[in-house]
């Protein structure tokens, strides 16, 4: 699957599910599963950057995840700060960081200031890279994104058309998703990129996110290779 076979590089989106179940099967606390998941995300970023992947968008933390136990949420927040802090590694692989989610200065945003700083710093420190774009969806929900986009279109006096909604999404420059991967055997979309995945090839795998490896990732890529 070479880049010459496509009008543009692939956009792959991932719902990183199964960290808790991965830990439970090993008799470990859920936090250990999230730590393993963060480590595997770094590995998947390295793998994707070497493939014909132009955009990798991952569901880091949803608007619904705040109801999880406070200790678990604190651990996940710490892992995201660490993820956004992998600047040297991201630059080594020519990866540019982006973020989508409820804007920090708008009502309803719950992203802690420390995570906000880490996100802004990662975006700034990788802005010069022109390889793969890694977008982390944090404090993100697709219904909230679409409702906001429609409201902004109306505020600007535009008719609520497909074009108006698309131009007011969190990242209007993000291309449509070519492949959505969900791990851990769940066959759900979970309020993730509902606008951007119209017509997307979906791959549901039984493997938990910490166990997703290069072979499984390549098998998923092959699903869009022939028909793209």
pLDDT digits (tens, 9 = 90+) for 138-167: 999 999 999 999 999 999 887 889 999 999
17 in active site: yes
Residue-wise pLDDT for 110-143, tens only, equals: 999 999 999 999 999 999 999 999 999 999 999 9
What share of the chain in percent tops pLDDT 90?
77
9-56 per-position pLDDT tens digit: 999 999 999 999 999 999 999 999 999 999 999 999 999 999 989 999
- Is the model's pLDDT at 8 over the cut of 80? no
**Pairing relation of β-strands 133-140 and 96-100?**
parallel
pTM: 0.92
The catalytically annotated residue of 52, 65, 125, 191 is 65
The whole-number pLDDT of residue 3 equals 40
pLDDT band, residue 228 (cuts 50/70/90): very low
Catalytic residue among 5, 17, 130, 213: 17
- For residue 2, pLDDT over 50 is answered with no
pLDDT tens, position by position, 86-98: 999 999 999 999 9
pLDDT at 201 over 90: yes
- Average pLDDT, rounded, for the chain: 91
Residue 65 designated active-site: yes
Band (6; pLDDT cuts 50, 70, 90): low
């Amino acid at each position: 699957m070479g880049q010459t076979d496509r009008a543009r590089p692939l956009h792959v989106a991932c719902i990183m599910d199964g960290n808790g179940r991965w830990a439970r099967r090993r008799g470990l606390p859920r936090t250990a599963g999230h730590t393993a998941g963060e480590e595997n995300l770094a590995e998947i970023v390295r793998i994707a950057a070497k493939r014909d992947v132009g955009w990798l968008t991952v569901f880091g933390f949803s608007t619904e995840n705040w109801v999880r136990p406070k200790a678990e949420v604190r651990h996940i927040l710490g892992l995201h700060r660490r993820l956004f802090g992998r600047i040297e590694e991201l630059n080594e692989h020519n990866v540019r960081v982006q973020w989508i989610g409820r804007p920090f200065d708008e009502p309803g945003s719950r992203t802690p200031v420390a995570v906000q700083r880490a996100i802004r710093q990662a975006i700034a420190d990788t802005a010069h890279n022109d390889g793969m774009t890694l977008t982390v969806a944090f404090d993100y929900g697709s219904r909230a994104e679409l409702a906001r986009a429609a409201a902004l279109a109306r505020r600007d006096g535009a008719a609520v058309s497909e074009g108006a909604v698309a131009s007011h999404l969190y990242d209007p420059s993000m291309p449509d998703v070519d492949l959505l991967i969900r791990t851990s055997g769940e066959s759900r979309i979970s309020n993730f990129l509902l606008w951007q995945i119209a017509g997307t090839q979906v791959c549901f795998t039984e493997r938990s996110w910490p166990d997703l490896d290069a072979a499984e990732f390549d098998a998923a890529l092959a699903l869009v290779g022939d028909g793209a």
